[in-house]
Amino acid sequence: MAKVKTVFFCNNCGAESAKWMGKCPQCGEWNTLVEEVVKETKHSRTPTARGVGKNTTKPVALPDIEMSAVSRIPTTYKEIDRVLGGGIVPGALMLLGGDPGIGKSTLLLQVSQTVADTVGTVLYASGEESRLQLKLRAERLHINSNRLHVIADTDLDHILEVALEQSPSLLVIDSIQTMYTTDIEAAPGSVSQVRECTSRLLRFCKEQNIPTIIIGHVTKEGNIAGPRMLEHMVDVVLYFEGERSYQFRILRAIKNRFGSTSETGIFTMIEDGLTELANPSAALLAERSDDESGSAVMIYLEGVRPILVEVQSLVATTAFGMPRRTAIGYDLNRLIVLLAVLEKRCGFTLGNKDVYVNVIGGLKVNEPACDLSMAVAIVSNLKNRVVPHDMIILGEVGLTGNVRSIPRIEQRINEAKKLGFTKFIIPDGNYKQIKHNDDSIQVRGVTSIAQAMQLVFS
pLDDT at 159: 95
pLDDT of residue 46: 40
- Which of the pair, 148 or 303, is modelled with greater confidence? 148
CA triple 331-333-338, angle to 5 deg: 95
Distance of CA 290 to the CA centre of its chain: 32
Least reliable range by pLDDT among 36-40, 143-147, 251-255, 301-305: 36-40
Please give the Cα distance from 424 to 414 (Å, whole number): 11
Q: Are strands 273-276 and 264-270 parallel, antiparallel or unpaired?
A: antiparallel
Strands of the sheet containing 264-270, edge to edge, are 148-152, 122-126, 170-174, 212-216, 93-98, 236-241, 248-256, 264-270, 273-276
Kindly report, residue by residue over 205-224, the tens digit of the pLDDT.
999 999 999 998 877 666 66
Q: Does the annotation list 417 as a binding residue?
A: no
Q: 270 forms bridges with which residues in the sheet?
A: 273
From residue 267, alpha-carbon distances to 232, 249, 274, 361 in Å are 27, 5, 6, 13
Predicted local confidence at residue 226, as pLDDT: 62
pLDDT by residue (tens digit) across 47-106?
A: 444 444 456 678 889 888 776 667 889 998 999 999 998 899 999 999 999 888 888 999
| AA identity, residue 361 | G
Q: What share of the chain in percent tops pLDDT 90?
A: 54
Q: What is the mean pLDDT of residues 446-453?
A: 94
Is the predicted pLDDT of residue 44 greater than 60, yes or no? no
Segment 379-396, tens digit of pLDDT: 999 999 999 999 999 999
Q: Is 344 annotated for ligand binding?
A: no
138, 112 contact by CB (below 8 A): no
448 labeled part of a ligand binding site: no
Which pTM was predicted?
0.78
Instruction: Say if residue 105 carries a ligand binding annotation.
Output: yes
What order of strands is seen across the sheet that includes strand 4-10? 16-17, 4-10, 33-39
Residue 320 pLDDT more than 90? Answer: no
- In this predicted structure, what is the pLDDT of residue 182? 86
Categorize the per-residue pLDDT at 246 as very low, low, confident or very high, splitting at 50, 70 and 90.
Answer: confident
Q: Annotated binding residue at 103?
A: yes
96, amino acid identity: L
Report which of residues 53 and 292 the model is more confident about: 292
pLDDT over threshold 90, residue 186? no
Q: How far apart are CA 235 and CA 228, in angstroms?
A: 14
Is 438 annotated as belonging to a binding site?
no
Measured between alpha carbons, how far is residue 108 from residues 72, 122, 141, 170, 436 in Å? Answer: 17, 11, 12, 11, 43
Q: pLDDT digit string (tens) for 329-352?
A: 999 999 999 999 999 999 999 989
Give the separation between CA 431 and CA 300, rounded to whole angstroms.
Answer: 18
Is the pLDDT at 172 greater than 50? The verdict is: yes
> 102 among the known binding-site residues?
yes
Considering the chain, what is the average pLDDT of its residues?
Answer: 87
Dist. CA 200–CA 51, nearest whole Å: 9
Asked if the model's pLDDT at residue 406 lies above 50, the reply is yes
- Ligand-binding annotation for 100, yes or no, is yes
- 277 within 8 A of 268, measured Cβ to Cβ: yes
The Cα 184–Cα 368 span in angstroms is 48
